[in-house]
């Protein structure tokens, strides 16, 4: 596993973004692990997060695209931080764009904030995590309504490595259904590999008991 991935896993733990316990995902699945990017709460954390996303995007897609689209609400700071990191580390100017949950009818009107999306733009979508692929069904119509747009790919922070609506992984389903390449900074398999029975800051985060719960979750929701 690349060093930056190990660092990112530890970064998520340090920020309280990667948690273990009893949670329910947006898709209604009870899960022993949860990723909540809302816990990145300082400028320093967002700056570092943007750097990890920028590296993952550059490795998977390169930087031949125009707009980084972050769906409201959590995608808004992700798109801003990552577009800044791309400029700082790769000297490439990328526009950022997000949607509003409600269309604004005065001042800066419309459903978008940040840069408009124009005909011919190449767009990369940035999200926190995809479980069952439900959010992309809300995001793509908004982007496609802006014109003749090429959606290059989707990047998430963590690939949960579980089924979407069918038997394939959520990211694979998105890739097949919409023709969009997908990538993640890390996968949950890499998270488990790095943390299982290995002390971090004097504590074993994934012990045998938690590993049993994770295995049981994947027995139910893992890719067959």
- The DSSP line for 38-106 is GG--SHHHHHHHHHHHHHHHHHHH-S--SEEEE-TTTHHHHHHHHHHHHHHHH----EEEEEEEEEE-S
- What is each CA distance from 97 to 26, 138, 184, 204, 205, in whole angstroms? 23, 15, 20, 40, 36
Helix axes 136-144, 170-178, angle to 10 degrees: 30
Q: Choose, from 101, 106, 203, 224, the residue flagged as catalytic.
A: 106
Residue 203 annotated among the catalytic residues of the structure: no
DSSP state, residue 37 = G
Report the alpha-carbon distance of residue 34 to residue 210 in Å, rounded: 13
Q: What is the C-alpha separation between 224 and 57, in angstroms, rounded?
A: 28
Instruction: Look up 104 and say whether it is catalytic.
Output: yes
Q: CB–CB of 14/7 below 8 Å?
A: no
Catalytic position from the list 26, 30, 89, 104: 104
What b/e sequence results for 133-162 when a residue is b if at least 16 CB atoms lie within 10 Å of its CB, and e otherwise? bebbeebbebbeebeebebbbbbbbbbbbb
Residues labelled catalytic: 104, 106
């Amino acid at each position: 596993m690349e060093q930056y991935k190990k660092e990112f896993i530890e970064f998520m733990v340090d920020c309280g973004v990667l948690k273990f316990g009893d949670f329910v995902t947006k898709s209604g699945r009870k899960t022993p692990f949860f990723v909540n990017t809302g816990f990145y709460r300082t400028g320093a954390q967002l700056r570092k997060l943007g750097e990890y996303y920028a590296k993952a995007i550059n490795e998977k897609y390169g930087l031949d695209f125009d707009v980084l689209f972050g769906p409201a609400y959590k995608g808004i700071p992700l798109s801003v931080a990552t577009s800044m990191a791309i400029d700082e580390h790769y000297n490439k100017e990328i526009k950022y764009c997000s949607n509003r949950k409600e269309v604004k009818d005065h001042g800066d009107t419309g459903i978008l904030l940040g840069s408009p999306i124009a005909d011919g733009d190449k767009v990369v979508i940035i999200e926190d995590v995809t479980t069952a692929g439900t959010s992309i069904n809300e995001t793509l119509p908004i982007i496609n309504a802006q014109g003749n747009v090429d959606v290059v790919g989707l990047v998430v922070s963590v690939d949960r490595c579980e089924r979407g609506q069918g038997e394939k992984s959520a990211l694979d389903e998105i890739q097949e259904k919409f023709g969009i390449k997908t990538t993640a900074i890390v996968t949950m398999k890499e998270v488990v590999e790095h943390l299982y029975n290995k002390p971090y800051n004097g504590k074993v985060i994934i012990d045998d008991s938690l590993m049993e719960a994770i295995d049981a979750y994947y027995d139910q929701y893992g890719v067959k």
